[in-house]
């Protein structure tokens, strides 16, 4: 299933993408796409619904974040060997965990705002994992049982804040609009192998990233299991799993940074595409 949320910011309706490409309203079936809806029984309820009988929504309406009320927005850093190499970083021996603020979450096609005092804003196409069942100290062999599905994430970053302002990476990752997710939450039954998905990102039509989840250092099952050793994972929590090479900071000899007027276009095989206009911060 491809689940999504449609409508103005703060008033999105739960929806599902039908086989004919139409968007069908799930308001009468579930409260929203998030929380208990993502439990196995919640997804089973949607799967048991005759989608063709549901009302159609206007396909021109805004698509919001594909998950509502995200509790934790967890990120894995330097999780692609080729990306670590382009940044000059050592390949990590264990997954690097940091957090994005949930206030960074926006819809897949909403504008990305360069924050005040930013110097080095950058892009990162990533596979995001959406938790569907509480995970606490889970074994790697059982980890995917706790996954509801997957979505595209653009882990927008400010490298100056991230690496040159002291402390942890979080301050370069959590600005408002730095977390576009969607367009869809694709349930895991439609993604038989999350370690074999092509992914790409373009800025103004130039393809900078062209990779595959095959080159992850730590796969999805390992990441879910690992994170669950340090914090419980709840339905609707998101783990975004790292980016392949081609980020702005890795371009030699001169890095390329986002600027107002740029358009980012990105996607992951089977999970849909995003497109964001980049704008300057205005008080």
Going by pLDDT thresholds of 50, 70 and 90, the confidence category of residue 31 is very high
pLDDT at 78: 87
Contact residues for 74 (Cβ-Cβ < 8 A; gap 6+): 97, 98, 99, 100, 227, 231, 237, 238, 239, 240
- Please, are residues 112 and 277 in contact by the beta-carbon 8 Å criterion? yes
Are residues 97 and 41 located together in one domain of the fold? no
Per-residue pLDDT at 17:
98
CA 204 from chain centre, in angstroms, equals 21
Closest CA to 37 of 234, 216, 201: 234
Compute φ and ψ for 201, nearest 5 degrees: -150, 135
Residue length of the chain: 283
Mean pLDDT score across all residues of the chain: 96
43: containing domain: 2-57
Predicted local confidence at residue 198, as pLDDT: 98
Asked whether residue 125 carries a pLDDT value surpassing 80, the answer given is yes
On whether both 151 and 26 belong to a single domain, the answer is no
Secondary structure element (H or E) that encloses residue 45, with its range:
helix 40-47
Q: How many domains does the chain have?
A: 2
Question: Higher model confidence: residue 17 or residue 90?
Answer: 17
276 contact partners, CB below 8 Å, separation of at least 6:
108, 109, 110, 111, 112, 154, 180, 263, 264
Report if residue 47 sits inside a domain: yes
The predicted pLDDT at position 136 comes to 98
For residue 130, what are the CA distances in angstroms to 134, 143, 196? 11, 12, 18
Same domain, 240 and 268: yes
Claim to verify: residue 30 and residue 89 sit in the same structural domain: no
Is 67 among the domain residues?
no
The answer to whether residue 63 is domain-embedded is no
Assess whether 33 and 102 both reside in one domain.
no
Residues 221 and 167 in one domain: yes
Same-domain status, 130 and 164: yes
Is residue 255, in this structure, part of any structural domain at all?
yes
Q: Do both 217 and 147 map to the same domain?
A: yes
Residue 181 domain flag: yes
- pTM, two decimal places: 0.96
64 falls within a domain: no
State the sign of the Cα–Cα–Cα–Cα dihedral 26, 31, 32, 36. negative
Q: Is the pLDDT of residue 188 over 90?
A: yes
pLDDT > 90: what percent of the chain?
91
Same domain, 228 and 124: yes
**Does residue 68 lie in a domain region?**
no
Task: Judge if 14 and 99 occupy the same domain.
Answer: no
Nearest partner of 33 among 2, 79, 72, judged by Cα: 2
pLDDT at 56 over 80: yes
Both 90 and 53 in one domain: the answer is: no
What is the rounded average pLDDT of the residues 208-225? 97
Whether residues 143 and 275 share a domain: the answer is yes
pLDDT above 70 covers a percentage of the chain that reads: 100
Q: Kindly report, residue by residue over 35-45, the tens digit of the pLDDT.
A: 999 999 999 99
Confidence of residue 87 (pLDDT cuts 50, 70, 90): confident
Q: Residue 86: its pLDDT value, please?
A: 77
Complete DSSP assignment for 131-157 = E-S-BSS--GGGGGGGEEEEEEEE--E
| pLDDT score of 169 | 86
């Amino acid at each position: 299933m491809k689940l999504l949320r449609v409508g103005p910011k703060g008033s999105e309706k739960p929806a599902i993408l039908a086989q004919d490409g139409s968007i069908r309203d799930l308001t009468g079936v579930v409260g929203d796409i998030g929380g208990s809806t993502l439990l196995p029984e919640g997804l089973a309820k949607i799967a048991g619904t005759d989608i063709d009988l549901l009302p159609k929504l206007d396909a021109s309406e805004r698509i919001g974040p594909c998950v509502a009320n995200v509790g934790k927005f967890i990120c894995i850093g330097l999780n692609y060997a080729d990306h670590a190499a382009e940044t000059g970083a050592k390949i990590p021996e264990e997954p690097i965990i940091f957090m994005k603020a949930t206030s960074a979450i926006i819809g897949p096609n909403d504008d990305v705002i360069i924050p005040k005092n930013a110097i080095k804003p950058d892009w990162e196409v990533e596979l995001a994992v959406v938790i569907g069942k509480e995970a606490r100290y889970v074994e790697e062999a059982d980890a995917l049982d706790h996954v509801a599905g997957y979505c595209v994430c653009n882990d927008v970053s400010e490298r100056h804040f991230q690496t040159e302002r002291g402390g942890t990476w979080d301050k370069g990752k959590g600005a408002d609009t730095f977390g576009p997710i969607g367009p869809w939450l694709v349930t895991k039954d439609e993604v038989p192998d999350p370690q074999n998905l092509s992914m790409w990102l373009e800025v103004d039509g130039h393809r900078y990233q062209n990779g595959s989840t095959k080159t992850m250092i730590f796969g999805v099952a390992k990441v879910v299991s690992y994170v669950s050793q340090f914090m419980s994972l709840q339905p609707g929590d998101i783990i975004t799993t790292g980016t392949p090479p081609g980020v702005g900071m890795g371009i030699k000899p001169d890095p390329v940074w986002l600027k107002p007027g740029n358009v980012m276009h990105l996607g992951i095989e089977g999970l849909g595409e995003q497109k964001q206009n980049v704008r300057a911060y205005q008080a």
